[in-house]
Amino acid sequence: MKNDHTKDASGEPEPQRPGFDAGMSRIDVPRLGSDGAPTGLPGALDQVVVDRLFQMGISTPQRPIDHLVQRLSGPGSSAWLGDALRMPQVGCKGDPESGLARGRLNIREIDDMKERCKTAALTDGDTHVRLATTAGYYIAIAAAAVHHHRLISSQPRGELSSMLLDLGSVAPEPWATLLGRAALELGAA
């Protein structure tokens, strides 16, 4: 950019103004008060943070798990998930909360459950069973990661942790925390 002085309308040289990209590396983000109006408290974000936040705008393609996310976002999801994990097709040994959320099942029992769920989720003719076993499949993976520090899936860690977070964001407790812990265990940022 040319930096020579420019004459203004009166013919007087105009003082040089700051470069156009000055201050571009940080932005001020107004904070909101309880009434929703900006409070004026600045929170400066640097360019790296801005770029990372902007990248969050990219959506993921529709995945099979999104049907489950949708179901868990609906009414009565807590009762639905509790019932789903007790279905015989899911094959959870004992009480699901005790066995999976609190970690009473050993790794072999969890892996067996995961395999059973995987098969049913792919082959069962009943939509409800497919949805329930999909939930069982991911919860088994989460339980193995959290309680046994084992990854019992061949899916890439990044994709898996992202899916666990999506499920966790709509799942009732204690499953939300289990799924969140599992995502962290798998390296979620």
Partner 1 sequence: MQSPSAKPKSRPNDVFPATQLAWIDAQLDMGQQGRSEINRHIMSVYRFPLHVYFLGTRDRWIGEPEEVINGFFADRLARPNFLADWRVSGLRLRHWLINAFCFYLRELRRLRHRGKADSPKADEPVEFAGDTKAIDRAYVSSLVREALIDAERMCTGQGFSAHWQVFYTHFCLGKPYEQFVDELGIDAGRAVVMARTAKKKFQIALRTLVARDSTGDDDINAEIRGLMEGS
**Would you tell me which residues interact with partner 1 (CB under 8 A)?**
1-2, 6-9, 14, 17-22, 24, 27-32, 34, 36, 38, 43, 45, 47, 49-59, 146, 165-166, 168-169, 171, 173, 176-184, 188
Query: Please, which residue, 128 or 157, has the CB nearer to partner 1?
Result: 157
Query: Please, which residue, 45 or 151, has the CB nearer to partner 1?
Result: 45
Distance CA 72, CA 81 (A): 8
CB of 48 to partner 1, least distance (A): 9
Q: Terminal CA-to-CA distance of the chain, rounded, Å?
A: 40
Distance CA 123, CA 110 (A): 20
Query: Please, which residue, 76 or 187, has the CB nearer to partner 1?
Result: 187
Query: Please, which residue, 120 or 145, has the CB nearer to partner 1?
Result: 145
Query: Please, which residue, 55 or 127, has the CB nearer to partner 1?
Result: 55
In the structure encoding, which two tokens stand for residue 59, read together? 């959506």
CB of 116 to partner 1, least distance (A): 25
CB of 103 to partner 1, least distance (A): 13
∠ CA(106), CA(109), CA(111), 5° rounding?
Answer: 105
CB of 45 to partner 1, least distance (A): 6
| Buried b or exposed e, range 22-52, using 16+ CB within 10 angstroms | eeeeeeeeeeeeeeeeeeeeeeebeeeeeee
CB of 130 to partner 1, least distance (A): 24
| Residues pairing with 95 in the sheet | none
CA 179 to chain CA centroid, nearest Å: 10
Select from 83, 68, 80, 143 the least CA-distant residue to 113.
Answer: 143
Residue type, 181: R
